[in-house]
Amino acid sequence: MQLDVISDTICPWCYIGKKRLDKAVDAWDRKDVEIAISWRPYQLDATIPAEGVDRQKYYERKFGSERAKEAGKMISELGEKEGIKFAFDQIKRSPNTLDSHRLVRWAGSAGLQMEAVELLFKRYFEEGEDVGKAEVLTEVAADIGMDVDLVKELLASDADRKQVEYEDHMAREMGVTGVPCFLFENKFSVVGAQDVETLTRVFSRVQERLVERPAAEA
């Protein structure tokens, strides 16, 4: 079963969604079916400059001070249930995420995509690091066992920049307006950080349809 997760590396709901997805994969009773997971890019705000912006000012301008605080509190409480220690007060910059998405893409080629996504979320949301900076991305690559020299070289170039932008564009063309979006077999989608029970139920339904389709075509 192919599952593409469309997400942004600075989306707190995507971090919660990943934790729940991990649990759902472990909990699903069909151990004979492999769920092949790929992460696809989506920039919540591609207009953020390469150097990023002050996070507090950005969020206050976008949501308002009180609304931002309330949302942060609610997300933090939900995150605790999933083992996430959100440290919003430690995050100083809202970065442009294009380079982090490029890293995720390269990590996929190295068979380390899940590790890259997990660590990018952790570095940003729990440690307050700027995942828009090349040095932070390089450290992430090193920590998960990627070829650091190659990653440095790629980050300094425009490698896969257009491809990431294209995939982001295609997600919007498909009607994706919020993330995380779980896209099964390029046909069935579920939006939002769904709970484990919902995800496992969707796994089963998608698998049923995959079994039904060859039978109908026979």
4-49: pLDDT as tens digits: 999 999 999 999 999 999 999 999 999 999 999 999 999 999 999 9
Q: Rounded CA gap, 58 and 62, in Å?
A: 6
CATH number of the domain within which 158 lies: 3.40.30.10
Number of domains the chain contains: 1
Mean pLDDT over all residues of the chain? 96
Helices (H), the chain: 12-27, 55-63, 65-81, 98-109, 113-121, 134-143, 148-155, 161-173, 196-217
Domain housing 50: 2-217
- Which whole number is the average pLDDT over 192-214? 93
| Burial classification of residue 59, based on how many CB atoms lie within 10 Å of its CB (0-12 exposed, 13-18 middle, 19 or more buried) | buried
For the ranges 48-52, 75-79, 212-216, the lowest mean pLDDT is seen at 212-216
pLDDT at position 62, please? 87
| Burial classification of residue 137, based on how many CB atoms lie within 10 Å of its CB (0-12 exposed, 13-18 middle, 19 or more buried) | buried
97-113: pLDDT as tens digits: 999 999 999 999 999 99
Judge whether 199 and 17 are in contact, CB under 8 Å: no
CA dihedral (173, 179, 184, 186) in degrees, to 10, reads 10
pLDDT at position 68, please? 85
Q: Rounded CA gap, 196 and 25, in Å?
A: 9
Q: Could you give the percent of the chain with pLDDT greater than 70?
A: 97
| CA distances to 6, 32, 69, 89, 132 from 39, in Å | 6, 22, 29, 27, 18
